[in-house]
Structure 1
């Protein structure tokens, strides 16, 4: 997940006070290249950004953070789509952020990130892991069995598998100052029973987990790694993509897995990267040679990929949004632009085959979005 957000303007009263609110939609005109997308951004979300969106069983959620002079430094945000707007139930943590989300069913919603606890009256530098569960009625914070000496803990990735388990990956600093990963598996219905599993993925950091069939779990970050239930194996990726960083993954079948991200480029700053596993090897998927960074991927009702991200080059797109879809010859091209979108960080497909995306609204200054954005592709 991105960490570009430094400070943000004052947010609306409802979110700043942590009140439950049904938020109406922001209007957006349709143009020729935006006709497939509908802007369903939460209104009154100034100072907020959404990092992930997930949907299952008719439940659609998005998570992120809000920042204003009172939040020290952030306030977690979790919003539920009601069919006509976004509802923001109260959060169990007053200070912190939510970076990743998993939805297994309407009462099996999990979000992870970190919460900020004060050290004295002015120092908010101490953070600890934040895991919370929506049981269909309210959010509650869940405690994981970290080692007693764990400090500065955080959680970066969560997923729910088809067998009713929830997987959580994170890290902490031990008494010697070493940075150590953790992996936990529990029951997706929130009934407890956490198991600590091997967490050394072979990656420096993990941005997302994807639980596939048969107990297989994939982790992405500065590479791709596979967990077979016993140990992790770092995957062999195309040598030309050494140094690439991955933020989104989609496990369609055991012979069709996609991962998206970016690689640093001397001329373009950051160039979009996509790799695909066909059951035998990971291969490069062609992307435009232009400034772009990919954060997530989803597949629409026809099975076509929709890849979302951002660009820092106004000549590519002054709004900052970056969306790749198959062109006439099947090559991924930048031909769609969700109305009102700025940087896009998450994507998911609902049961109707509609693709949802979230992030920040257009009009960012210095890499900071003015408000939250959400869009849905017909």
Structure 2
């Protein structure tokens, strides 16, 4: 069984007004791959994990590359006024490691978030002030052997939010061979930027071991974070912040043995969407799991049987666009446009020769869709229209 736990979104890098008891119908159509264009990118062994649009002309795609000395941050930029297409642009000097997510509130306020260095307790984040990137450390729990932020929202220059995980060392025991083995568990973490520094927030503990994969901000007093329990508690987790404290919000019984939420987006306080994966049987690699908050409760949304694990989502009028994989052994890229009670396939093109391509993040601007991901040891960006 191919179960995904821990830092799920990074490992994958790879409707409208539904009634409480209603489901979304599936609209089938002949695939039209001509609507999608594969963007030309700089060469390199790169995995893309995030998408942002800092201004009306500029698009960013962020991720990391694998080098001889380890992982290195990567940021691609495209300016519609420039005929050079996608180019690699520098991030903060001296920064090393993954970039798991990118977000921007304006051309002068953006964030890149990644993982904790192997030594110390700091999670490295980078801030863009319109001129250059600067590194700001965010504290992880003192007992964390590893940690990182997987999602970030740039709400304003004095208010940003990030969510992720920390692996906590509880002690040391011996394995059956008498070798020392660490006893560990996972904890979700949320940090909030106050304009000067990151402050780690106090969270409830939904399970003995669990993590957070994504966060979205409706207002400064209305924030959602989603993830999953781990090990035997591999079930969806949703947390809500009301301006005073975080609380656990129950999710409904879902179809499947296990369930995880990897992405969350909001139209408003009474319309929040979470996407992820459910495992239907021990041999299932994962089917799509979508839940919608109506202001009172979460409800599972019906999706096509071919839809597999969904890693990212973006709001569109009346619904969402979400991307991930097909629920098949070859894990082809897959996307859905959910609106007006229907779930329509985005008809993404088949993977290129050399291996499967994974979609990890999506953005929509004026009907233009940008999907980022990776596969066959190369980055991939698809653009098209709904």
**From 298, 310, 332, the counterpart of 2:343:** 332
Mapping for residues 148-159 of structure 1, pairs under 5 Å: 151-159=145-153
Matches within 5 A, 1:2-151: 2-3=10-11, 33-45=32-44, 47-58=45-56, 59-68=58-67, 70-72=68-70, 74-83=71-80, 84=83, 85-92=85-92, 93-114=94-115, 116-117=117-118, 129-146=123-140, 151=145
How many angstroms does 1:277 deviate by? 1.2
- The separation in 2 between residues aligned to 1:108 and 1:163, in whole angstroms, is 6
Task: Decide whether the 8 Å contact of 1:48 with 1:66 is kept in 2.
Answer: yes
Q: Corresponding residue for 2:384? A: 377
Q: Does 1:283 align with 2:299?
A: yes
1:212 corresponds in structure 2 to 218
Pair 1:278–1:56, CA change in 2 (3 A): farther
User: 2-side partners of 1:38 and 1:115: how far apart?
Assistant: 35
Compute the TM-score of the two structures, normalised by the length of structure 2: 0.75
Q: Counterpart in 1 of 2:252? A: 238
Say whether the 8 Å CA contact 2:285–2:328 is kept in structure 1. no
Structure 1 residues 319 and 185: alpha-carbon distance in aligned structure 2, compared to 1, 3 A threshold: closer
Q: Quick one: distance in 1 between partners of 2:35 and 2:59?
A: 19
Q: How many residues align?
A: 328
312 and 104 in structure 1: CA distance in 2 versus 1, 3 angstrom threshold: same
Counterpart contact for 1:201–1:225, Cα < 8 Å? no
- The residue that corresponds to 2:154 in the other structure is 160
Match of 1:260 in 2: 275
The two structures have a TM-score, normalised by structure 1, of 0.76
Residue by residue over 1:107-165, the C-alpha shift from the partner in whole angstroms, topping out at 9 and shown as x without a partner, is 211011115458xxxxxxx8852211122222221123456666534223321225840
2:336 aligned with 1:306: no
- Cα distance change, pair 201–57 in 1 and its aligned pair in 2 (3 A): farther
Contact 1:181 1:200 in 2 (8 A): no
Distance 1:145 1:294 in 2: 29
Q: How many angstroms apart in 2 are the aligned matches of 1:374 and 1:4?
A: 15
Aligned counterpart, 2:333: 321
Deviates more, 1:210-219 or 1:53-62: 53-62
Tell me the alpha carbon deviations over residues 238-287 of structure 1, each in whole angstroms, 9 at most, x when there is no partner: 21257310111111111111111011122543111111111222111111
Q: Secondary structure at the match of 1:67?
A: strand
Q: Given the alignment, which residue of 278, 293, 313 partners 2:309?
A: 293
- Map of 2:25 onto structure 1: none
Question: Is the Cα–Cα contact under 8 Å of residues 290 and 301 in structure 2 kept in the other structure?
Answer: yes
